[in-house]
Amino acid sequence: MDKKIVRIVLTGGPAAGKTTLISRILKEFKQDEGWRVITIPETATDLISGFGIKPFGNCLSMLEFQDYVVADQLHKEQLALQAAEAVPEPNVLIVYDRALLDDKAYITDEEFEQVIRRFGLTTQTVMAKYDAVIHLVTCAKGAEFAYNLDNNARTESLDSAVEMDDRTLRAWSAHPNLKIVDNDVNFEKKIQRAMREIFRIVGRPEPMDKKHKYLIAMPDMNQLVVKYGAVPFEMTQDYLVMTNPNIERRVRKQKNGSDYLYFYTEKHRMEDGTMWDTERPISFKEYKKYLLEVEQELQPVHKVKYRFNWGRERFEIDVYPFSRERAVMFAYAGNDEDAVELPPEIQVLREVTGDYEYKNRTLARRQSL
């Protein structure tokens, strides 16, 4: 069987949502389902924070700095392609947190051509390295209230963020498969739209928008595995002390094949009562450090999530160790559909969409369904 390798660049201005989108990609494309996600971190940030190489501070001009960036980026990309060929999974998604053409936003077009020519490249050969580009518009354009929610250390002003967003979009504007995802009042909807673009690029059915949540009688999960190909994923969520009354914090450990992934999530309660979620992947070391901040009154929430498709909908069933008789099911349907057709094996006890009593934070306290 031929290996399928898809290369997608995530770009955009500051505070656009790239980190949260990468977290979502890691959650959606599972090794258990035949996918391997390889992420390439932002090269300029690595050079500045890891090596202390930065323009001006080390007597380097911005143009000289780009030689380091391009050299490191090309090295990472080559390693990623070699790894994609070596891993056992038949489908590989390479996700670039910015890529070569982002450098064009910091120097003139002529200077950029000079830099890549030194590496035997042209703008056309650079663009050919990537199957698709997703430009996430900075929150500084249309969602200014959320500009600094996911990074307290951000130093760019709103005007600077808008300018950088425009320059980055211009740098990638000639790519034949450029997708632009602008802002939404609801950040989750923005991430969902970006994920739909990614599903289209890789050729998978798009996830639906509308989510229903049900309390159900415990089905025969083995039967669902056999009949519908339900795939189980183990995960544990721990809730952290709230240092801000409007920000709920948690960490999650999630099984991915023989390995684990780790995530840190913040849920910001806005003035109008809506929630704005940001999330980022973290290392095992960071995960263990965050566990020192757990809220003592809340227990870890352990669960196994089973995911499968039936008819036109996607379903997820959360099975908790503290409940043998009941489970929680999510059904994802289209925006224009109110009724969800359920598999015959599912017995709904009641719909609990939006019900606080069945949110994971509540279950962490109650440990019962």
Digit-coded pLDDT (tens) for 285-297: 999 999 999 999 9
Could you give the angle at which helices 187-202 and 18-28 cross, rounded to 10 degrees?
Answer: 50
Q: What pLDDT was estimated at residue 153?
A: 44
Assign 93 a pLDDT band (cuts: 50, 70, 90): very high
Assign 339 a pLDDT band (cuts: 50, 70, 90): low
Assign 142 a pLDDT band (cuts: 50, 70, 90): confident
**pLDDT, mean of residues 214-221:** 96
CA distance 15 to 36: 27
Digit-coded pLDDT (tens) for 57-89: 666 888 889 999 999 999 999 999 999 999 999
Assign 161 a pLDDT band (cuts: 50, 70, 90): confident
Q: What pLDDT was estimated at residue 31?
A: 87
**pLDDT, mean of residues 187-193:** 87
Find where tokens 């809340």 sit. 298
9 and 46: one domain? yes
Q: What pLDDT was estimated at residue 60?
A: 81
27 and 120: one domain? yes
Q: What is the CATH number of the domain that holds 64?
A: 3.40.50.300
Q: Can you give the pTM of this predicted structure?
A: 0.80
Least confident segment among 5-14, 64-73, 243-252, 306-315 = 306-315
What are the helix (H) ranges across 89-157?
A: 109-117, 123-127
Domains identified in the chain, total number: 2
163 and 229: one domain? no
Domain end point (choices 157, 180, 202): 202
pLDDT averaged over the chain? Answer: 88
Are the C-beta atoms of 1 and 90 separated by less than 8 Å?
yes
149 and 37: one domain? yes
**Reduced to 3 states, what is the DSSP secondary structure of residue 162?**
helix
**pLDDT, mean of residues 8-31:** 91
Are the C-beta atoms of 150 and 266 separated by less than 8 Å?
yes
Q: Report which residue type is found at 194.
A: A
C-alpha of 42 from chain center? 15
Going by C-alpha positions, the residue among 21, 16, 10 that lies closest to residue 192 is 21
Q: Dihedrals φ, ψ of 340, to 5°?
A: -115, 125
Q: What pLDDT was estimated at residue 267?
A: 87
45 and 122: one domain? yes
Q: Which domain holds residue 275?
A: 210-366
Q: What is the CATH number of the domain that holds 348?
A: 2.40.320.10
Q: What pLDDT was estimated at residue 335?
A: 53
238 and 161: one domain? no
Are the C-beta atoms of 327 and 220 separated by less than 8 Å?
no
For residue 151, pLDDT beyond 70? no
Higher pLDDT, 216 or 209: 216
Q: What pLDDT was estimated at residue 156?
A: 67
Assign 365 a pLDDT band (cuts: 50, 70, 90): very high
For residue 56, pLDDT beyond 70? no
Find where tokens 């808008």 sit. 162
Q: What pLDDT was estimated at residue 188?
A: 82
Domain end point (choices 182, 202, 222): 202
Contacts of 78 (CB under 8 A, 6+ apart): none
